[in-house]
Amino acid sequence: MCYNILYMRRFKFKSVVKLANMRLSVKSAAIVLASSTLVSALLGLFRDRLLNSYYLGTYPTGIDAYTAAFTIPDFMFFILTSGALSVSFIPVFNQRLAAGNKKSAWELSSSLTNLFAIITFITSILIMIFADPLIRYVVSPGLDESGMILAINMTRVIAINPFLFSIATVLTSIQQAVGRFVFYAFAPAIYNIGIIIGITCFTGGINIFGIQIFEGGIMGVALGVILGAILQLIVSLIGLFGLGMDYDFKINWKNQGFRSILRLLPARSMDQGIDYVNGIVNTNLSSRMGAGAVRSFNQASSLHQMPVNLIGVAISTAFFPKLTEELGNGDKREFNNTFRQALRTIIWISLPVSVIAFFGRGYVTSFISNIGNNDSNGTIASILGTLCIAIFARSVFHIASRGFYAYQDTKTPFVVSIFAIGITIALSIWFYLIGWGVDGLGLAQSIGAIIEIIILLYILQRRSNKELLDKSFWRAGVRMLFATAVSGCVAFSMTKFIPLMATDNSLVITIPKFLVISAISVTAYLIASYFLDLKEAKPIFRYIKKALFRNVK
């Protein structure tokens, strides 16, 4: 009887895994990826809300140390592993599978897994050894001694992440390459669940058979991070079920695909690492600005990045294949038209979002903190206000950089990024020296982002003999600014009409308020866009008209 029950459960588990590991169509994959992104984002908000409610108001030094502890492990993971896989692994792996050369494909994946496992394991050990000087002199020298020791200890715990992440990333990239997206898509959500378990279960200590083996506290969250990384790796391994991977415990240096990835690794690693250098500088400076400043800046940065991903990344990714196809056919006129359309769309959407985020920054901040309208929330909201310009600029950056990628030019955006980030870092240091505080760091990010897109668009305009951004584009841009001003006035008025109270510490209260403010402000923007004859608004009104009068003859 028990054997039959266990057999049936095992059979059901295999059936579920087999179903989840089916090859998906492009449409199905898009639905799975979109769903997983939403789930991961919601879990991330819930995770941050828990952390902030537990520690931001009561133990800001501790949560600063926790935030700083991620800096070096994340930096090493992205420059060692993420860059190589995002550029070359999937196309090289697919080429071998398409040619029927499975042996070479599995040699490539095994060699890459083994190499990254060895490199990141050594890196993790080195981080553990040198955590003290790295934290004390590079990442967060401004923390007090108790915060410094806590950050060093948590860094040594989290240092194993690059090793676990690198293996999981190779495994999920293999699944992505063959059209299996379910376990690849939901692995990040599993990671967040591990951290949530750490917050809710490990912070109270771990007691086994009456023996206290762990005292708890914020160090329990760091254990949750490791749990999340292990769970993510397990999920990635389950995703290999039925794939027939022929794993080998050696590195085949003669494999041409493996060697081609290694040749691309240094340049891509520099491109990935330059942004994290900026992040290290921000952590270093914010650690000198009082307890809670590191966490506050980190949270504001995360909040401003969400609309950038939803607008800039999504739209530019959708347009990119068409841009490359038109240039491949030698049709520069159509390329210019498509690029203008994409750029106008991103500008038209990102402008009101930036304005609404500015006036509704207090409400947005409340989504990740339930400790009321106190000083900590006010600091995050203030930083978010300085980053609102960066929402617009960084959304535009993604289509501007893809304009160069369509020309197969990756060097120009990289050089411009180095220049812009250099200016950003210089401004951050200057604003810190003149006493502008953590808000100065956000302002530096916005200024640097604006400078970057101005240079990129200027170079693209010159390459097109000034045909890319024509007079109609600039006239439309001015009209968009007028419509944004209308939306901003409405958003400002609505925040006064529906104020954020000090007692508004529940999502049940803050979300409806923010949705009402946003809905009315967006409606005003759409009406203004329609009367200003902006073509981006017309399809929306046609759809509304069709929906309202569908049954009216």
Q: Is residue 56 in some structural domain? A: yes
In the numeric block, which tokens belong to residue 199?
Answer: 């917050």
- The model carries a pTM of 0.81
Q: Is residue 119 in some structural domain? A: yes
CA angle 453, 454, 458 (to 5 degrees): 115
Count of the separate structural domains present in the chain: 1
Q: How far apart are CA 550 and CA 542, in angstroms?
A: 11
Helix then strand count (H, E) for the chain reads 22, 2
Give the pLDDT of residue 324: 75
From 32, 379, 295, 328, select the one nearest 186 (Cα to Cα).
32
In the numeric block, which tokens belong to residue 450?
Answer: 């604006």
Q: Is residue 133 in some structural domain? A: yes
Kindly report the three-state secondary structure assignment for every residue of 107-160.
HHHHHHHHHHHHHHHHHHHHHHHHHHHHHHHHHCCCCCHHHHHHHHHHHHHHCC
Q: Is residue 421 in some structural domain? A: no
First to last CA, the chain: 67
Give the pLDDT of residue 18: 46
Give the pLDDT of residue 6: 44
Q: Is residue 102 in some structural domain? A: yes
Give the pLDDT of residue 106: 83
Answer yes or no: are the C-beta atoms of 194 and 229 closer than 8 Å.
yes
Domain with 213 in it: 1-277
From 143, 142, 140, select the one nearest 61 (Cα to Cα).
143
In the numeric block, which tokens belong to residue 521?
Answer: 């402000």
Give the pLDDT of residue 210: 59
Give the pLDDT of residue 529: 93
Strand-pairing partners, residue 207, are 212
Give the pLDDT of residue 465: 81
In the numeric block, which tokens belong to residue 322?
Answer: 């068409």
From 392, 413, 403, 405, select the one nearest 346 (Cα to Cα).
392
Q: Is residue 284 in some structural domain? A: no
Q: Which conformational region is residue 504 in: left (phi greater than 0), alpha (psi within -120 to 50 degrees), or beta?
A: beta
Q: Is residue 259 in some structural domain? A: yes
From 122, 119, 123, 100, select the one nearest 111 (Cα to Cα).
119
Q: How far apart are CA 225 and CA 230, in angstroms?
A: 9
CB atoms under 10 Å from CB of 357, counted, come to 24
Q: What is the pLDDT along the chain (553 residues), one digit of tens a residue?
A: 444 544 444 444 444 444 444 554 544 655 666 666 677 778 888 888 888 888 877 788 889 999 999 999 988 888 877 655 655 676 677 777 767 777 877 888 888 889 889 999 999 999 999 999 999 999 999 998 999 999 999 999 999 999 999 888 888 878 776 766 677 777 778 889 999 999 888 877 666 665 655 566 888 899 999 999 999 999 888 877 766 777 788 888 877 777 877 776 666 667 667 778 888 999 999 999 988 899 999 999 989 988 888 788 777 867 776 777 777 777 788 888 888 888 999 999 999 999 999 999 988 888 887 654 455 678 889 999 999 999 999 999 988 988 887 787 778 888 898 999 999 999 999 999 999 999 999 999 999 999 999 999 999 998 888 888 888 899 999 999 999 999 999 999 999 988 887 777 777 788 899 999 999 999 999 999 999 988 888 888 888 777 776 655 5
Give the pLDDT of residue 359: 94
Find tokens 């108790």 and name the residue.
Answer: 146
Q: Is residue 48 in some structural domain? A: yes
